[in-house]
Every structure is written in structure tokens, then in C-alpha cells.
Structure 1
Amino acid sequence: MPAEAPDCAAAFSESHWGLRIGAIFIILATSLFGTVLPIVLRRSTVVPRPVFDFAKYFGSGVIIATAFIHLLAPAFDALGSECLSGTWTEYDFAPALAMVSVFAMFFAEVAAYRIGSRRLAKLGLVSAHADAGDAHAHSHSHSHSHSHSHAHSQAHAHELDSLPEDHVTDPELALALPSKEEASETSSLAPAEAAAQLVAVAVLEFGVILHSIIIGLTLAVSDEFVVLFIVIVFHQMFEGLGLGSRLAGLHLPSREWARYAAAVLYAVCTPVGVAVGLGVRRTYNDNGEAKLIVSGVLDAISAGILLYTGLVELLAHEILLNPRMMRSSDARLAYVFVCMALGAGLMALLGRWA
């Protein structure tokens, strides 16, 4: 018996038309809430430290799960679809594009750090010996693991220093905070580290924006609108929480408005995708070859960006290579792990429906 041909024809349901339009504003509000919340909490003097930590590390888990479940898996599906033909059927492009994206992120971060360090050296803001290589090594008499993470911990020092002292309630963590001498020692390299951190967050936002536009288009023309709509509301809010926690940790003393501008940019992307999808619903083919290629490629690239950011920037730099975090109490580390696992678990669960 011959195999049944794949259904690649365009289809659109006219059901729930009012809710489809309302989704534009509902998703805008929930996305903005999730993204702005960590930024506001960062400046709050009444919110306990564990609440801020929850938003930050829950968001880290969300980003990692988004990369694996909501980006890499759909990229495999789109670029492996039976509706494609030609070269796209001869190679697994999804993992290849994700790998290229990971290396591109790595090269961009290295370049940003090295260029920033050299410019600071020319301006006389750092020692001529404190180039990009020495900044990361910073050997002195420290151990190898501490020296590798010394420069990366500077950004976290800014984050902790911005909080009131009574927010740091963990005695072991308080003891692990750098002294004034240590802060003075590393402050000259902070601008270079801040530049590398800014590049990482900017590329992270680029990745989630691509993803947000695609899911907005998908939602607008989906036959299973109600279930997908509910899932995407939580998806965008949780993903916004992850992005917002990164924006909150940036060192932007003279450009505080940039955090909120980035939050608004992320929040409007999915509503824009929904609006565009509703506008072209009669001609848009969710199973069309062009759509599958574009969405598959963008999902794969975004997956690589979020994988690098989640595993390297969030897990490695903020925990494993952060000496203050590694010297904190077992209870604090356990709390961080639970927050991450909860964020990743909830986003993975949402992948059951979207």
C-alpha cells in the first residue's frame, strides 16, 4: 500500500476571531510584566534577596529549556519536514546551524572583551600589562579555577553591590563578598567585562526576538488556538523573566533607560507576529516550503545563541566559575539549583503543547 502523501496545503481556522485579536494585547501585557519585574526588583529596597535570586535563576532555567525544547526541537521538525525538497532533505541542517551559532557567540564574546581591553589600555584606564589575556588569567598566586573566573566575577560584584546590605542575609555569602582592596583591584577591568556582558545580553535578546516573532505568526494561524494561546502566554512571560534578569544584571550607570527599552522591544515582538499573521492569514501557508526553511533556520540559530548563553554565561560564569558563589553555603546553592530546575521543568512541560 503506497505511503500517504504529506499534507502541505495551507489552512486557517476562523474560530475565536475576537480572542485572536485580544491575544495581541494580552501577550503584550504579560510579556512586559515578566521582563520588567526583575529590573524593578533590582532597585527595590523592600524585596528580599531570595526573591531576586528566584527571578534570576528561574529565568536561567527557562532560557536553557527554551533552547532545547522550544527552539532546537522545532528546528529539527521544520528542516526535516516531508514538505521540503532538494538540498534541505540531504543533510541535517538544524544541528549544524546551532553549532555555527554557538561558535559565533563564543567568537563575539572573545572579540568584545579583547577589543574593549585594548581600547581601555590605549586610554590609560588599565595597565599596559592588563590585556585581554592577562585579564582572564589574572594569575598572581591564585589557583587556576579562581584565576579563570576572576574577571568574570566582576559583573556579579556590581550586581551585589547595587543591593542594600540587609539583602545579603547569608553569613557565608557575606564573608565571600570581595573586600575593598579586592574591589579596587578589579575595578579597572570592569568596563571591558561590562562590554563583553553587554554583547552577550544583546545577542541573547536577538535570539529570543527571532523566536518570539515566529511563535506569534504560528499562533495567529493555528487551528488549536486556545491551547496554544494559553501556553504562549506563560511561555513569553517566563522567557521574559529570564531576559529581564539578564538586563537587570547589566552595568549601565548612565543608561538606565536601555534596560526598559530592551524589555519593551522583546514584549512587542510576539504581538507584532500575531498581528502580521492575522493580516496575511489568507495567503500564509504554515506548511509551505519557504516558511519551513525560514522558521527552521531562525530556530536553529536562536537555539545555538540560547544554548551558549544558558550553559556558558549563566551556569558556568555565574556559578561554577564564580568564586563567591562557590564559597557560599550549601543551602544557597541548593536554592539556586531548585530555582533553575523549576524554570527548566516548567518550560519543558509547556513544550508538551507548544
Structure 2
Amino acid sequence: MSDLNCGSGGGSTTFHGLRIASVFIIWVTSSFAATFPVVARRSRRIYIPTPIFETAKYFGSGVIIATAFIHLLSPGVQELTSPCLAPAWQDYPYAFALALLSSLGIFIIEIIAFRIGTAKLKELGITHGHGAGALSASASGHEVPLTSSDPEKTEKDHEVVHTHGRLDKQGSFVSDEDALAQLIGVAILEFGVILHSVLIGLTLAVDERFKVLFIVVIFHQMFEGLGVGSRLAFLVLPHKYRHVPYLGSFLYGITTPIGIAAGLGVQTTYNPGSTRATMVSGILDSLSAGILLYTGFVELLAHEFLFNAQIREVGLPKLLYNLGCMMLGVGLMALLGKWA
């Protein structure tokens, strides 16, 4: 207990030049991992076979889930049970309660968004062939067929497309409400990941184990960026929202460098083991864990494996391959938890 540092002293100042360089190194690697799937998916000059995109997508789902358990919830528990905090923090599993709170909060937000979107679609006289799950399905990148509650409105519905959405080559309708559902889903994912990324940057800037942590963070951010980027790449949006995937990948790439830069700015005063830093980090980690747990299991795995008609109809080898990609993402990200 003699090594316990609960004060407000500064962090480590060794390897100062490399810590500064880490801002740009992690910016480049994180941005590339998150942006390349988006660019490759939309570019006519870069041909990437669809199976490779699907592999990245399932791998990324595994990364997100392992991040929630190993890199967020576990540290959150450790931080909120730290001896640096008041004894009251030891009397209740606050980390799990906060994760539960954020998961249910996101669930309620999606219910409200779904009801608003459904109501607006009814005003347009448009229904979706997949029923109540259409908006949620679209959030996972699956477009839904255009139908009308009144057969005589078919022509009108197709006119509405040009003002409120678009038809893809297969005749699937992507309305503004569908786009909203997708944007909410990806915003939830980005929010949880961004909170985590800023904390990683702050820690990297002042941690004594800089060399080991630096290498681990590079791989961590690349794997996580691939997960986020593959989800952004599969968004199906009206033309006016075409820049959203690029904005999402940019935000992901810049957050950890911002955290590192902020940490370097307060390097002589910020102590990640201090009472206040431990409490704030534990709360944010726990909330982020709940967000990513909900996103990983409900928005990603459930929609990709349980509610996806294509997956239900594929052969066993294809299903096992997709599951294997997901488990590989889980395994590699969980393994990184040994060092960070």
C-alpha cells in the first residue's frame, strides 16, 4: 500500500519526444483503419471483394464486444473499487450499475427514435416489408423494400423517394427515417468508442509503462478502427448524408491523439492514479462499457446473425466462418487486455 499514489502529482515525463510523435503515429494508424473500409467500399478505383468486407465486419463486431468487457468494464470495476476512493464506493457495484444504466438508456433512446420514425413513415403512406424491425435492421446496413399501405399509392411512394430518400439498384427504399435509424446506431457506437479513446490518449501521455502501452494502443486502435470503419462502410444513406461515414472515421481517428495532446499539456499535474482521475475514468469506462455491450450484442450480433435472413439461409460452413471471424476479433482484442 506504500506505493499507492492518490495525490494530484504529475505523471511520467520520460520519452517526451516519442510521446509527442505518438500523437501523429496513432492519428495516422487509427484514421487509416477507420477510413480505408469506407473509401474502398465507395470507390470505383479500389476493388475489394465483398467477402473481405464481410470478414472485416464480423471481426469488428468481436472487437467491439471484447472492448466492452476487457478494456472498459474490467478497468471500470478496478477504478471504482480503488482504495483511493471513499469507502462508500466499495459498498456497491457501481461499475456494473452504471453499465446497466447506459445500456437501458440507449435502449430507451432507440425505442423513442423508432416510434418517431415509424410515425413519420405512416404520414408518408409508406410501410416496410420487414415490419416493426425494419428501422433497426436498416441500422445494421440492410436496406428494406419499399411497399405502400395502399396499392394505389405505389406511384406516389416512388415520387416520395426523390424527396425523402432514394432507391438502390435492387429497388430498396432508404428514407430519411431509415437514415436516422442508421445514424443513431452508428452515433451510439461512436460515442462509446470516443469516450474510451480519449481516456486511452490521456493515459498514454503520462503512463510510466509508455513503450509497452504505446505498441498495444497502436494495435488496439487499429482493430477498433477496423470495427468502426467496417460499420460505417455498410451504412446505406441518402445522397445528402454521403459525408457522414467519412466524418465518423475522422472523429474516431482524431480522438485518441486529442487525448494524448491534452495529457501532454497537463503532464506535470495530471496523475491518472489520483482520486479524482480514478473516479472520473471509472465512471466513463463503465458508461462506455454499457453502450458498447448494447451495441455489440443487439445492434451488431443480433441483427447480423439472428435477424438477418441471408445468414439464416447460408450453409453451415459460411455461418461457421462468420462466427469464426467474430471470435477472432474477440480473442485478439481480449488478448491485448493482458498489457493494457
TM-score, with structure 2 as normaliser: 0.85
1:344 maps to which residue? 330
Greater fraction strand: 2
Q: CA deviation at 1:294?
A: 0.8
Structure 1's consecutive aligned runs of 4 or more residues displaced over 3 angstroms after TM superposition are 3-7, 149-159, 190-194
What percent identity do the matched residue pairs reach? 50
| Whole-Å separation in 1 of the counterparts to 2:143 and 2:43 | 16
The answer on whether the counterparts of 1:156 and 1:318 sit within 8 Å (CA) in structure 2 is: no
The answer on whether the counterparts of 2:176 and 2:238 sit within 8 Å (CA) in structure 1 is: no
Unaligned runs of 5+ in 2: 145-166
1:119 maps to which residue? 120
| Whole-Å separation in 1 of the counterparts to 2:40 and 2:53 | 6
| Whole-Å separation in 2 of the counterparts to 1:329 and 1:42 | 25
1:236 maps to which residue? 221
1:205 maps to which residue? 190
The answer on whether the counterparts of 2:143 and 2:173 sit within 8 Å (CA) in structure 1 is: no
Question: For 1:285-339, what per-residue CA distance to the aligned partner results, in whole angstroms no more than 9, with x for missing partners?
Answer: 2111111111111100100000000001111111111112110122221221111
| Whole-Å separation in 1 of the counterparts to 2:237 and 2:141 | 13
Q: CA deviation at 1:110?
A: 1.2
Q: Superposition pairs for residues 98-177 of structure 1, below 5 Å?
A: 98-122=99-123, 124-126=124-126, 135-136=131-132, 152-154=136-138, 156-158=141-143
Residue 335 (structure 1) aligned to one of 315, 321, 329: 321
The answer on whether the counterparts of 1:58 and 1:242 sit within 8 Å (CA) in structure 2 is: yes
Mapped pair 1:19 → 2:5:
no
CA RMSD of the aligned region, Å?
2.3
The answer on whether the counterparts of 2:72 and 2:196 sit within 8 Å (CA) in structure 1 is: yes
CA distance 1:5–1:43, shift in 2 (3 Å): closer
Mapped pair 1:259 → 2:255:
no
2:212 maps to which residue? 227
Aligned residue-pair number:
311
| Whole-Å separation in 2 of the counterparts to 1:18 and 1:4 | 31
Q: CA deviation at 1:74?
A: 0.6
Unaligned runs of 5+ in 1: 137-148, 160-179
Residue 260 (structure 2) aligned to one of 264, 274, 281: 274
2:151 maps to which residue? none
Say which SS state the counterpart of residue 126 (structure 2) adopts.
Answer: coil
Say which SS state the counterpart of residue 238 (structure 2) adopts.
Answer: coil
Deviates more, 1:104-113 or 1:21-30: 104-113
Deviates more, 1:249-258 or 1:7-16: 7-16
Q: CA deviation at 1:13?
A: 2.6
1:29 maps to which residue? 28
| Whole-Å separation in 1 of the counterparts to 2:289 and 2:142 | 29
Deviates more, 1:201-210 or 1:320-329: 320-329
Query: Which amino acid in the other structure matches residue 52 of structure 2?
Result: V
Residue 7 (structure 1) aligned to one of 5, 29, 39: 5
Q: CA deviation at 1:253?
A: 2.4
Deviates more, 1:101-110 or 1:222-231: 101-110
| Whole-Å separation in 2 of the counterparts to 1:191 and 1:77 | 43
CA distance 1:5–1:18, shift in 2 (3 Å): closer
Q: CA deviation at 1:44?
A: 4.7
2:51 maps to which residue? 50
TM-score, with structure 1 as normaliser: 0.82
The answer on whether the counterparts of 1:150 and 1:322 sit within 8 Å (CA) in structure 2 is: no
| Whole-Å separation in 2 of the counterparts to 1:350 and 1:119 | 45
Query: Which amino acid in the other structure matches residue 121 of structure 1?
Result: K
Q: CA deviation at 1:191?
A: 4.5
